[in-house]
Amino acid sequence: MARPLEGIRIADFSHVMAGPFASHFLALMGADVVKIEAPGIGDPMRNYGADRRYDGMAPAFIAANCGKRSIVLDLKQPGALDVAKRLIRSSDVVLENFRPGVMERLGLGYEACRALRADIIFCSVSGYGQSGPMRDYPAIDNIVQATSGMMSVNGDPDGPFMRIGFPAVDTYTGTLAAMSILGALLRRAQCGEGQRIDVAMLDAAMVLTATAIVPHLVTGQALPRTGNVGFSGQPTAGVFTAKDGASISLGVVQPVQFERLCDVLRRKDLLTHPDFQTPDLRRRNAAALCAVLAPEFAKRDGAEWERTLSEAGAPCGLVRTIAEAVAMPNLGERGVVTPLHIAGLAEKEDVAAIGAGWTTSSDGPRIDGPPPRLGEHSRTVLRELGYGDAEADALINAGAVREGGR
């Protein structure tokens, strides 16, 4: 048996995060992702962050590039352009996230690629799409969090707007791009036709924020910012402090869950209290209910509350640090946190990465190996494309192709 994308090749011209995160999913499902990088530092994400010991293999680069192969091409040189065209001819998908128009100027736009392979799937990822008045605006994650309205719904009601603390737009854009490519591959299997796909970070951010945007579209009213209180606005969907100082997050939003919470707290009197009998009353009298609940949660440690309330059917979770979260044993058992060996990596070579986030009964997604060093597979890919050793040497000596390695 085989994973669903084994035998599928991706010519990946993308860099930084949104594009590489898309091909990350495809690689996990078995696709051969050939990463085309520029001479010099290659993908800028290789050197992301302040710790220069990780240059070439920065942690953020590892997150989106495991199991891929790297070839370095100077696409301004005719010899390298010929290599790129041969690679595209042998590929099922072209993925790129340059500014709109760059691939066309290189001679590798959709029409040029379709001339090389009629059923090619060509996916472009950009900030604001391949058309429209914002087409040429530069964009990175925090900018799109701002322009999409996403920042306006984060933070405390009386505080400043707040960005999500990781590149949520980048990663979600990559997820949507991967899904769109899978859809195009299925369509091609049915009708034999390729497709051009246009994925925009702004569009993806709007989709990600749909549960806040659609209420505005329906009612004309903006949702209030609720800080650490859940989407429901219920005070029992907020954060409380346990006896040991740990923070616990409740998700008690349904009447039956409130009953279970009161039962565990041994405060069934709250069920008949005139201020707390219904969700609307609890929302209206949130401060008073929190004042009652806070001393109750100070009676037990956080881990005990998480276990006791969860077992009773009243949703509760410890607020964990990243270090505490990745140490949870079920994540390793489910393959979410996957051991990874990267030879020569700073500090330690045995680390871990994050998998696909789902499991299957057979042939599931997996990380096949570490990210490639810059140009690590240049000569191998040239051979696969039909270049002899002398031809490969000539391309490398001319600087059209660069070799790298471990």
DSSP secondary structure, 352-404, as one string: EEE--S---SSS-----SPPPPTTTTHHHHHHHTT--HHHHHHHHHHTSEE--
Whether 263 and 376 share a structural domain: no
Strands 93-96 and 121-126: parallel
Q: What is the rounded CA–CA span in Å between residue 172 and residue 152?
A: 18
Is 268 contained in some domain?
A: yes
Is 229 contained in some domain?
A: no
CB-CB neighbours of 290 under 10 Å: 15
Whether 199 and 284 share a structural domain: no
HSE value, Cβ hemisphere, 13 Å, CA-based, for 260: 18
| Dihedral in degrees, nearest 10, Cα atoms 306, 307, 310, 316 | 0
Q: What is the pLDDT of residue 224?
A: 87
Q: What is the rounded CA–CA span in Å between residue 43 and residue 36?
A: 9
Is 217 contained in some domain?
A: no
Sign of CA dihedral 142, 100, 402, 83: positive
Is 4 contained in some domain?
A: no
Environment class of 317 (CB within 10 Å of its CB; exposed 0-12, middle 13-18, buried 19+): middle
Taking alpha carbons only, the member of 11, 197, 201, 16 closest to residue 110 is 197
Where the chain has pLDDT below 50, the residues are 406
Q: What is the pLDDT of residue 406?
A: 44
Whether 156 and 48 share a structural domain: yes
State the catalytic residue, choosing from 170, 269, 389, 393.
170
The label of the residue with tokens 């597979």 reads 377
Strands 316-318 and 247-250: antiparallel
Whether 377 and 270 share a structural domain: no
Whether 259 and 305 share a structural domain: yes
Is 218 contained in some domain?
A: no
pTM: 0.93
Phi, psi dihedrals of residue 228, rounded to the nearest 5°: -90, 5
Q: What is the rounded CA–CA span in Å between residue 300 and residue 313?
A: 18
- Give how many domains the chain has, as a whole number: 2
Q: What is the pLDDT of residue 230?
A: 86
Whether 368 is catalytic is no
Whether 65 and 178 share a structural domain: yes
- Residue 82's domain comprises 9-208+333-402
HSE value, Cβ hemisphere, 13 Å, CA-based, for 403: 10
Q: What is the pLDDT of residue 404?
A: 86
CATH number for the domain spanning 107: value is: 3.40.50.10540
Q: What is the rounded CA–CA span in Å between residue 230 and residue 252?
A: 9
343-378 pLDDT, tens digit per residue, is: 999 989 999 999 999 999 999 999 999 999 999 999
Q: What is the pLDDT of residue 66?
A: 98
Is 43 contained in some domain?
A: yes
Q: What is the pLDDT of residue 405?
A: 58
Whether 166 and 282 share a structural domain: no
DSSP state of 19: H
Is 19 contained in some domain?
A: yes
